[in-house]
Structure 1
Amino acid sequence: MLYRRFGRTELQMPVFSCGGMRYQYKWQDVSQSDIPVDNQANLEATIRYAVELGINHIETARGYGSSEMQLGKVLPKFPREQLIVQTKVSPVPDAKQFRKTFEQSLRYLQLDYVDLLGLHGINNSETLDYSIRPGGCLDVARQLQAEGKVRFVGFSTHGATDSIIDVINTNEFDYVNLHWYYINQWNWQAIAAATDHDMGVFIISPSNKGGLLYDPPQKLVDLCAPLSPMVFNDLFCLSHPQVHTLSIGAAKPQDFDEHLKTLELLDRASEILPPILARLEEEAIATLGEDWVKTWETNLPQWQETPGEVNMRVILWLWNLATAYDLVDYAKMRYNLLGNGSHWFPGKKADKLDELDLHPCLIHSPHADKIPQFLAKAHQMLAGEEVKRLSKS
């Protein structure tokens, strides 16, 4: 395993982390007696294999249902100093409730302290206010640090890049969990800001949210050869030293194996990546046209400024991915979260275009004439049943 300094925490972080949202039994709390023996055995085998590989960062959240409780049957079996344990608790208006929820996490984990506590989902001004106002959740996190129950405090986010940078620039947090990978590089400026503040940078779910790379379409497989799409994406992310660790949401022990192939390639990333990156760009241009590929985002309105709150940027991005790389299943999964993802995935679908006049908000876009038609095509291609966030399903 390779390790990177996790910003000002000074923790030596493995470049792969064991994320805790795919191996648990349920997305809701259940009693210990309800957890099937084989499910718990698989979770324990996954953690043991991770630690054996040197992946000693175990990451979970209070919002991950039975994950913490099930980990609590495993983690105390290891020497505590061998592990870096992170959990996350969502900021709420009542800071006392935040503390109560964290203490439940600690009881479930059966630990005296966690190394990393993330304020989970600082996605907008409201959740930021709950976090940093006097007497808010961050003040509670500081009390927990003083009591020795938390070593370092960070935050996780699905928010807009500008909002993430605002949170980073408070300089109140030691690390950030955020999205950034080949198909979605919007948050690079946030990573640069985190680097300026010497924060740890943890990439959320690059194999799942980065394109469902556990089961990639054949077209993407061909474009990424000789690497698998998963190894290509890992190498792309880790070739940037500002990125410290990638979350592997392992569902079973063997889920680590493909990722491990990345480690021996890192020293040669500058030679391996350029031909693959060139092929991916050439295919996007061949499929969508160079002008569109290079300028489609120019002067697009934010979803809040769009009639019907249509999230044009996300919809067109998903349409691009589905069209250029056959990432249709991924695009459908994400598209059908719109209107149902609250502040985790805001904005609405393009299902009511006949009722909306989009032209005024597109007046500065070089593609104003095409975008309504592309939105309609995207809806036709991607619409299906509404999808709920996993923690709500």
Structure 2
Amino acid sequence: MQYRRFGRTDLSMPVFSCGGMRYQQTWDDAALDVVEKENQRNLRATIDRAMELGVTHIETARGYGTSERQLGLVLPELREKRPVAAQGGPEGLIVQTKIAPHKDPKEFRRQVLDSLERLRMDRVDLLGLHGINTHEILWHAVRPGGCLEVARQLQKEGRCGHVGFSTHGSTDLIVDAVTCELAGGFDYVNLHWYYINQWNWPAVEAATKHDVGVFIISPNDKGGMLYKPPAKLVELCEPLHPIVFNSLFCLQRPEVHTLSLGASQPSDFDLQMSALPLLERLDEVLPPILARLRQAMVEAVGEDAADRFREGLPAWDDGDNAGYINAPIVLWLRHLALAYDLTEYGKMRYNLLGNGGHWFSGLGAAHLDTMTAERLEKAYKKSPFADQIVDWLRDAHLMLGGAEVERLGRD
């Protein structure tokens, strides 16, 4: 295993973290009596495999169903064997959980303490404010007397080591959060950044400038459902598996400290770990794959559209937008389907629009024909592809629309 300094926490963070949202019994907030013996045995084997490989960061959340309670049957024993990592030293266990900010800071505190009881621990090393996806939620976190102040008080009480946040929000929002200094600011951030979604890089740069630790959320799943990649993507990434390619793409940047690996079983670590020896050969293995992926995108949508399709598009909640359509996301998913055959991934993400709340904001293009031509023209007139956007949106809906998808949990 390789380790990187996790920003100003000074923790020695493994470059792969064990995320806790795939091995639990259920997404329901259920008691332990629903947990089957085989499920708990598999969870324990998965954590043991993580420790064996040096994956010493275990990350979960209150919103991950039975995950916290099931980990509570495992982590206290591991903590005794592997004391807190403190300031460096990869041998220590690093435990993180995440709690959503609440309008009532007292309720946030109650939920943190309840999560500690579920984990059967007096303290977690990393406490994340889960889902800072809008400026309203950010304000509930950082306002005077808000949840971040509560988290800092819990830190003084010895109940958590460092405080960060997770987000599916816009790049501008993430930059605002990582640069905020109220209540001491945030020590780390969980965000999305990987090959198919690179637009949050300014937020990573802002985090680096402020010495904020950078944790990449779900690069295997949200990064393209790479555990079951389409044949075209497999061919484009040869001789690497897409998971290995994506890991190397992320870890080539020293600003990135750790990638979440949402393991569902012990063997899920194998592909990811095979990337580590290749970190010394990045200049050799990455350029040919990057060139093929780029060429496939250009052939599918054209060079100009590949580079500039987001330019001039209104935000989904912009007053001049048409029907709250999240055009940047819709067109992004269309491009991925056309270039890499990521159609199944595109359908999964597209059909969350309108069903994912602030975790996946805005709407798809199902209602495009209910709007006047004048309204659509006004919405997209600043785009260099103003004459094509509506056709592209309609094409995306025909390609990706279907049954509504409901979020199972919060990552």
Unaligned runs of 5+ in 2: 85-91
**Residue 385 of structure 1: aligned partner:** 403
Distance (Å, rounded) in 2 between the aligned partners of 1:352 and 1:72: 46
Q: Secondary structure at 1:303's aligned position in 2?
A: coil
Distance (Å, rounded) in 1 between the aligned partners of 2:75 and 2:270: 22
Query: Which of 329, 342, 352 is the matching residue for 1:314?
Result: 329
Query: Which of 103, 112, 127 is the matching residue for 1:93?
Result: 103
Matched, 1:103 2:113: yes
**Residue 165 of structure 2: aligned partner:** 155
- Within 5 A, what are the aligned runs for 1:135-284? 135-171=145-181, 172-284=185-297
Distance (Å, rounded) in 2 between the aligned partners of 1:279 and 1:138: 45
Which residue identity lines up with residue 65 of structure 1 in the other structure? G
Distance (Å, rounded) in 2 between the aligned partners of 1:325 and 1:31: 42
State whether residues 300 and 335 of structure 2, in contact with CA within 8 Å, keep that contact through their aligned partners in structure 1.
no
Give the Å deviation of 1:104: 0.9
The one-character-per-residue Cα deviations of 1:2-30 (angstroms, maximum 9, x if unpaired) are 00000110100000000000000111122
242-251 vs 28-37, greater mean Cα deviation: 28-37
Distance (Å, rounded) in 2 between the aligned partners of 1:368 and 1:175: 39
Q: Secondary structure at 1:308's aligned position in 2?
A: coil
State whether residues 61 and 67 of structure 1, in contact with CA within 8 Å, keep that contact through their aligned partners in structure 2.
yes
**Residue 32 of structure 1: aligned partner:** 32
**Residue 76 of structure 2: aligned partner:** 76
State whether residues 354 and 362 of structure 2, in contact with CA within 8 Å, keep that contact through their aligned partners in structure 1.
yes
Give the Å deviation of 1:93: 0.3
Query: Which of 339, 346, 349 is the matching residue for 2:361?
Result: 346
State whether residues 28 and 391 of structure 1, in contact with CA within 8 Å, keep that contact through their aligned partners in structure 2.
no
Distance (Å, rounded) in 1 between the aligned partners of 2:47 and 2:238: 30
Give the Å deviation of 1:49: 0.4
Give the Å deviation of 1:34: 1.4
**Residue 297 of structure 1: aligned partner:** 310
Which residue identity lines up with residue 225 of structure 1 in the other structure? E
State whether residues 114 and 149 of structure 1, in contact with CA within 8 Å, keep that contact through their aligned partners in structure 2.
yes
Unaligned runs of 5+ in 1: none
Distance (Å, rounded) in 1 between the aligned partners of 2:402 and 2:114: 37
**Residue 133 of structure 2: aligned partner:** 123
The one-character-per-residue Cα deviations of 1:170-216 (angstroms, maximum 9, x if unpaired) are 14010000000000001000000000001110000000000000000
Distance (Å, rounded) in 1 between the aligned partners of 2:166 and 2:31: 27
270-279 vs 76-85, greater mean Cα deviation: 76-85
The one-character-per-residue Cα deviations of 1:351-373 (angstroms, maximum 9, x if unpaired) are 01111231111112111111101
121-130 vs 240-249, greater mean Cα deviation: 121-130
Distance (Å, rounded) in 2 between the aligned partners of 1:67 and 1:359: 48
Distance (Å, rounded) in 2 between the aligned partners of 1:76 and 1:270: 42
Give the Å deviation of 1:391: 2.1
Which residue identity lines up with residue 172 of structure 2 in the other structure? D
Distance (Å, rounded) in 1 between the aligned partners of 2:167 and 2:151: 17
Q: Secondary structure at 1:30's aligned position in 2?
A: coil
Give the Å deviation of 1:291: 2.1
Q: CA RMSD in A?
A: 0.9
Distance (Å, rounded) in 1 between the aligned partners of 2:190 and 2:308: 29
295-304 vs 66-75, greater mean Cα deviation: 295-304
Which residue identity lines up with residue 324 of structure 1 in the other structure? A
Distance (Å, rounded) in 1 between the aligned partners of 2:18 and 2:350: 27
**Residue 61 of structure 1: aligned partner:** 61
Matched, 1:48 2:58: no
Which residue identity lines up with residue 359 of structure 1 in the other structure? E
Query: Which of 108, 133, 140 is the matching residue for 2:143?
Result: 133
Give the Å deviation of 1:295: 2.0
